[in-house]
Chain A
Amino acid sequence: MAFSPRTRRVVGAAMTGATYSAAALAIIPLVAILLMLVMKGAGSLDWNFFTKSAVPVGEPGGGFAHAIVGTLLIVGVAAAIGIPIGVGAGIYLAEFGGGIVGWLVRFVADTLNGIPSILIGVFAWTLVVRPTGRFTALAGSVALACILVPIVARTTEEMVRLVPNSLREAALALGYPRWRTSLTVVARTARAGIITGCLVAVSRVSGETAPLLFTALGNQFFSTNLLQPIAALPLQVYYYALGPYEEWHRQAWAGALVLILMVLLLGILARLATRSRHERA
């Protein structure tokens, strides 16, 4: 097919315009959400918000400190459980997972990735809450860890696969056993990428609400006890947004803003980790 130069120019401009529009449409939701949160929530962000827990309706000066600390605790413990398992599984998949077992683990991880998070919550409820007879922060962490593991495992696998085979051979030729080659040479070389994957996974789970509904439950009071129900930002936002009071709605907006800022911060950290990898290479 032959087009005249004029037609080509017109089609080219139209296509370029179409991709620009698609890119603009793609970032509109993010910008809109951020703007909305800043407009509605920034006004309620004050010192009390970060230092005080919830107060009874009508009393002034309540905050989200209990929810912020709760989220940090739940996510921190989830990361402590999920990251070692995920990273270990990822290294296994990349270095030794060529056979049927590797295929099976990969299949299960991908399936787990696609399971709705509320089902993960139900699973953690069955696994932890029911046998122990109460809602606990720990149960919430277990639920989030279940979401974390497959994401971390698959990104770790991708990063470890990027390490050139010549480095493996060099280590083996020095008399390194296979496990030592994988841990001290291969995993270390892929470290920046693995850290990025972990941060992305952690930021993804820190906004999860559904898995915490039947596990951490939520709490109006400040608590750091892992064996008691605990507040969490997404839960607190959820409860306050459903509540009938104007003050609650304002605080829910502020809580959502804090949550998205935390996720943004993790995203920026992940970017920095990736960038230093490129600079070294």
Chain B
Amino acid sequence: MNVPDHASLAPAMTVPLPAPPQTPSGPAPASAAGPVPRLAVDRLTAWYGDIAGVRDVSLAFESNRVTALIGPSGCGKSTLLRCLNRMHELVPGTRVEGRVLLDSHDIYAPDVNAIAVRRTVGMVFQKPTPFPTMSIADNVAAGLVVGPPISRSVRDGIVERALRRAALWDEVKDRLGDSPLALSGGQQQRLCVARTIAPEPEVLLLDEPTASLDPLGSARIEELVHELKREFTVVIVTHNLQQAARVSDVTAFFYLGALIETGPTAHLFTAPTQPQTEAYVTGRFG
């Protein structure tokens, strides 16, 4: 299987790193009084062949918080996200060093099954990806098929609950058997959110979920993110700084594969400590 769009990011990363500041390590600053982070990245380096797309990053993601990963194209934010549910390794020639701790267990430990990780850490992609041969309801239930067997009525209940949580139920409840391709782009993306949360993952990864949507569709997804953080640990990659400011509690800024700065969103946008961060959030590059 080829994933050319991600592999082609690699050449952008060959630029020598202009002496990034010391990567902040350990848990995010906000955690001083908080609980143990749900998900933590510990000295993670992700390789495409000989090129490191993510370099020695350590970062913690707290429960019921939205963490936004921002930075210019090719900075490694999507690669880092794909390391969190072991999707990175599906690209031929890639490998990962370091640890990703989910509830203190390393998901890269030799006895851990990548498929089980992906059922616990759900992911929504940049473009809506409904399965075209399945009905709307079957799309939502698609992730349940690989779980333990359940009865028809339980399944229908889960489908309804997932669609309600994704704020799509009222729009599709009368046409659950129809093709998802009749839905608008924004509805398709909410369908993908419903499909991802139906199997009850613990962490939700959103990879530029509004990049292909119009402003209205984007607004619906952002509202949804606010709702979803009540139940999930949410990590969102976005190119849209306003969006990061609106939806996230914590923001992490990446540049050329390195984590430059992380902190509470309001703080990072108003009083960044690193010059690169300031240049990026004020729109001077990227």
A residues whose Cβ falls under 8 Å from a Cβ of B: 95, 98, 164-177, 180, 184-185, 188-189, 191, 280-281
Contact = CB atoms under 8 A, between A and B. Distances in A.
B119 interface: yes
A19 B1 CA distance: 41
B125 A169 contact: yes
Interface string B181-214: 1000000000010011001000000000000000
B271 interface: no
A175 B87 CA distance: 10
A281 B143 CA distance: 23
Interface in B70-123: 85, 87, 90, 92, 115-116, 118-119, 122-123
A95 B85 contact: no
Contact of A166 (B115, B129, B146): B129
A172 B87 contact: yes
Contacts of B127: 166
A170 B179 CA distance: 17
Contacts of A173: 85, 87, 118, 122-123, 125, 196
Nearest to B126: A166
Given A175-B118, A185-B131, A191-B133, 16 more contacts: A95-B1, A165-B1, A167-B129, A167-B131, A169-B87, A172-B87, A173-B123, A174-B122, A174-B143, A174-B146, A175-B146, A175-B147, A180-B146, A188-B134, A189-B132, A281-B181
B146 A176 contact: yes
Q: Is the interface of B mostly helix, strand, loop or mixed?
A: loop
Q: Quick one: which of A168, A174, A280 has the most chain B CB within 10 A?
A: A174
B2 interface: yes
B118 A165 contact: no
A281 B130 CA distance: 12
Interface of B: 1-3, 85, 87, 90, 92, 115-116, 118-119, 122-123, 125, 127, 129, 131-134, 142-143, 145-147, 179, 181, 192, 195-196, 199
Contacts of B147: 175
B196 A174 contact: yes
Nearest to A181: B1
A185 B130 CA distance: 10
Nearest to B144: A174
Nearest to B90: A172
A100 to B, nearest CB: 14
Nearest to A187: B133
Contacts of B123: 173
Contacts of A188: 131, 133-134
A188 B145 CA distance: 15
Contacts of A176: 115, 146
A277 B201 CA distance: 34
Contacts of B146: 174-177, 180
A131 B95 CA distance: 53
A175 B115 contact: yes
Nearest to A178: B1
Nearest to B120: A175
B115 A177 contact: yes
A275 B167 CA distance: 34
B90 A174 contact: no
A167 B192 CA distance: 11
A95 B85 CA distance: 22
Contacts of A95: 1
Contact of A165 (B2, B122, B131): B2
Instruction: From B1, B122, B179, name the one whose CB has the most chain A CB atoms within 10 angstroms.
Output: B1
30 contacts: A95-B1, A98-B2, A165-B1, A165-B2, A166-B125, A167-B131, A167-B132, A169-B3, A169-B129, A170-B125, A170-B129, A171-B131, A172-B87, A173-B125, A173-B196, A174-B142, A174-B146, A174-B199, A175-B115, A175-B116, A175-B143, A175-B147, A176-B146, A177-B115, A177-B146, A184-B145, A188-B131, A191-B133, A280-B179, A281-B132
A228 B146 CA distance: 47
B223 to A, nearest CB: 23
